[in-house]
Amino acid sequence: MELIIATKEEINKLVSEEIIELINKNNHCILGLATGSTPIGVYDLLVKAYNDKRVSFKDVTSFNLDEYVGLEETHNQSYRYFMNSHLFDHVDINIDNTHIPSNKDDSNNYKIYDEKIKNAGGIDIQLLGIGSNGHIAFNEPGTPFNTKTHIVSLKESTINDNARFFSSKDEVPKEAISMGLESIMNAKRVVLIAYGKNKQEAIYKMMALEPSEDLPASILQNHPNVTIYCDEEASELLVNNLK
């Protein structure tokens, strides 16, 4: 795993430029996208690059990592709403080519999500955040490494982390649909971004300890093409332990 420690601004720039370069090389590329507070700066720069006519998303396909169960797409905390408002509504992507896993009986049915990704050609670059408990997507500690897209019961720590986006903790859905760890490992390249002290323990365990299902992100040690981007705070514990 490659580790890059930089400021938030530098990381947003590096990651967005990598995505722009990928699209400009292969208009039909497949993006694996993430929600949460972490990737917002990257999406802002992608929208800016589109407005500056440096990139077009016309032929791009995307697959998102996860979605809450039980929130309407129009709910302002649904991940469909998040993706539309932070990226899709502001660029020329064909909305029919943007996929979010769903347990509704429609074309995004989660049971065939992995098959759809495979049939599309596989994810060229998967963007990831990380939870304070080491989850990636909604793969909580204890998730078997060989899981595909599935329904997940959210852990208390994740509900607490995400309560800040809802008016009360009780409003946070208790279940989500998530790409599995095996689904994520099938991406050709993985870029994980972590900001802030809240992530430093997860980053340390992910990179310094043996891969374990107790820390889902540690599976990435087994992936051949991963870059971890951290700000100083998120990398502090890891760096101190390497000294």
Site for ligand PGA, rule CB under 6 A = 36-38, 129-131
Q: Which residues are 136's β-sheet partners?
A: 139
Q: How far is CA 188 from CA 29, 89, 118, in A?
A: 11, 27, 12
Smallest separation, CB 12 to ligand PGA (Å): 13
Question: What string of DSSP letters covers 70-130?
Answer: S--TTSTTSHHHHHHHHTGGGS---GGGEE--BSSSSTTBGGGHHHHHHHHT--SEEEE--
Smallest separation, CB 161 to ligand PGA (Å): 6
Q: What is the set of active-site residues? A: 66, 133, 135, 140
Smallest separation, CB 241 to ligand PGA (Å): 22
Helix/strand/coil for 67: strand
By beta-carbon proximity to ligand PGA, the closer residue of 38 and 108 is: 38
Using CB atoms, what's the residue nearest to ligand PGA?
36
Structure tokens at 50: 């589109």
Which amino acid is residue 61, in one-letter code? T
Rounded Cα–Cα distance for residues 192 and 209 (Å): 17
Its sign, for the CA torsion 63, 67, 72, 75, is negative
* Other CB atoms within 10 Å distance of the CB of residue 120: 15
